[in-house]
Structure 1
Amino acid sequence: MIVGGLLRFLSVSLGLLLVPGVVFVDIAWLNNGLSEWGVTEGLQSLLILLSALIGFQGALSRPEQRSFLILVAGFFLCMFFREQDRLLDLVFDGLWQLLVFATATISIVMSLRDRRTLISAMAAACQSVAFSHVLFGIALLLCFSRVFGTGALWEEVLVGVDADVLHQTKTVVQEGLELCGYYFIFYGSLMFWLQHRRPSMATKASKTRVDMRGYSAQHELNAG
């Protein structure tokens, strides 16, 4: 328990330390002003895409949680398409909106097909410490980063500074907080998947031990 808690602490700490490092690379080394083609935005998209894939994998392997995990994974995939709006619009204008609508519709329909397990799976997830990290990440991403990174706040803090400096400061704060949110979503998704993967692994190991005992007993009986 202590080792597990220490590992979780180190995982969260390293993830949070990664955020200023990535932002620094974009600002100081690449000098791209945290553009959509920068490392920060790219890592944000990667983390939410991995979270979606983890959710879909869990939906395939955990029938009792499938309806809920499809909803969650579909939501994450919609967020990924939103992050890639500029790239997708290069194909044709409004493509990302079409993909979001299609993903949301398919996820909701598939989830409602097995709605009997939806509420129970949702209740079980809300009691999980791992899923609490996901909820914290979503709140940080959709609420806190938007409010704390608003231009009106930083106009009052940085009175009299150049408009470009003000915009850069606001962007650094908002994108940094968004990356924190995406990391917590990914971390929580990974922990949730690992926690629900262990019971099945333990069951397989237990079955293997039982089979081995049965084989040994049969072998001794035949030898006798």
Structure 2
Amino acid sequence: MTLPRSSSAARTVLKSAGQFFIIALYFAGIAGIVHYSVASHNVASESSLIELSQLGLLAATVFAFRRVAKFSQSLHHAAGLMSAFFLVLMIRELDATLDVVMHGFWKVPALIVTGLAIWPALKHWRETLTSLAQAVHSRHSTVLMIALALLLVYSRLFGMGELWEQAMGANYVRDVKNIAEESTELVAYSLIWLSALGYLAEAKKWRFVTKTQPSPTTIESDISA
């Protein structure tokens, strides 16, 4: 009995080590994006690799949550709201591009997306509340909450100009502040995407389990036979 248990424990440890290695490579790639942007002296512009990577991660997150809404009935309403929320963040990141139309024009599509998401949520508020509770209960919600706090709170406080002016004094360089703020946002977006992938994998898993389970009619017919 000791050998199988030890073998199972060894497989678990090796699996966790493999997962850590993959995650480490992932974040090494994120750091590589920052290094490349700094080396090319292109950090704060809309065409920088950091900005483009943020947009790519947001687009992938929106797509992932749309798929969750399709695959999972219990997470349908919550995933719809989350995809709309990150789509609004994506529109906000494109504010400089949308300023070509009119200054502050990003607010127009952002309000449209918000309205289209909130209306059905309010219309089916009981189902939405139950779906949100299911989403929060998921183990992937912890990573999502940490990433949102990192994005909406920490990166803003960490990127304050006053902080970096005090730190560097007469040698203050705005690009340094931008590197710190944008790289923190990039890490937050990368964590958000990992969380979205977790929700998607979970939704696909439960859909597969539901499909493979015998229906009540089939069970009754088997009992009769």
TM band (smaller chain): 0.7 to 0.9
**What are the residue-to-residue correspondences of 1:101-180 with 2, within 5 Å?**
101-161=111-171, 163=172, 166-180=173-187
Structure 1 residue 2 displacement after superposition: 4.4
- What is the distance in 1 between the residues matched to 2:100 and 2:15? 45
SS of residue paired to 1:95? coil
More divergent stretch after superposition (54-63 vs 178-187): 54-63
Structure 1 residue 43 displacement after superposition: 0.5
Structure 1 residue 120 displacement after superposition: 1.9
Q: What is the number of equivalent residue pairs in this alignment?
A: 205
Task: Provide the identity percentage.
Answer: 25
- What is the distance in 1 between the residues matched to 2:82 and 2:142? 13
Are 1:55 and 2:62 an aligned pair?
A: no
Matching residue of 1:90 = 100
The normalised TM-score by structure 2 is 0.82
Contact 2:58–2:193 under 8 Å retained in 1: yes
* Equivalent of residue 14 in structure 1, options 25, 31, 34: 25
Which consecutive residues of structure 1, in runs of 5 or more, have no partner in the other structure?
Answer: 215-224
Structure 1 residues 140 and 12: alpha-carbon distance in aligned structure 2, compared to 1, 3 A threshold = farther
Are 1:35 and 2:45 an aligned pair?
A: yes
More divergent stretch after superposition (136-145 vs 123-132): 123-132
Structure 1 residue 69 displacement after superposition: 1.3
More divergent stretch after superposition (46-55 vs 171-180): 46-55
- What is the distance in 2 between the residues matched to 1:202 and 1:4? 23
Matching residue of 1:182 = 189
Structural RMSD (CA): 2.1
Structure 1 residue 4 displacement after superposition: 5.3
- Residues 6-50 of structure 1: per-residue CA shift (max 9 Å, x gap): 45433432332222210111121x322331111100010111111
* Equivalent of residue 83 in structure 2, options 63, 73, 77: 73
- What is the distance in 1 between the residues matched to 2:142 and 2:177? 28
- Residues 168-216 of structure 1: per-residue CA shift (max 9 Å, x gap): 1111100000000000110001111101211222333456xxx9xx9xx
Which consecutive residues of structure 2, in runs of 5 or more, have no partner in the other structure?
Answer: 1-11
The normalised TM-score by structure 1 is 0.83
Structure 1 residue 133 displacement after superposition: 1.2
Contact 2:75–2:135 under 8 Å retained in 1: no
Structure 1 residues 133 and 12: alpha-carbon distance in aligned structure 2, compared to 1, 3 A threshold = farther
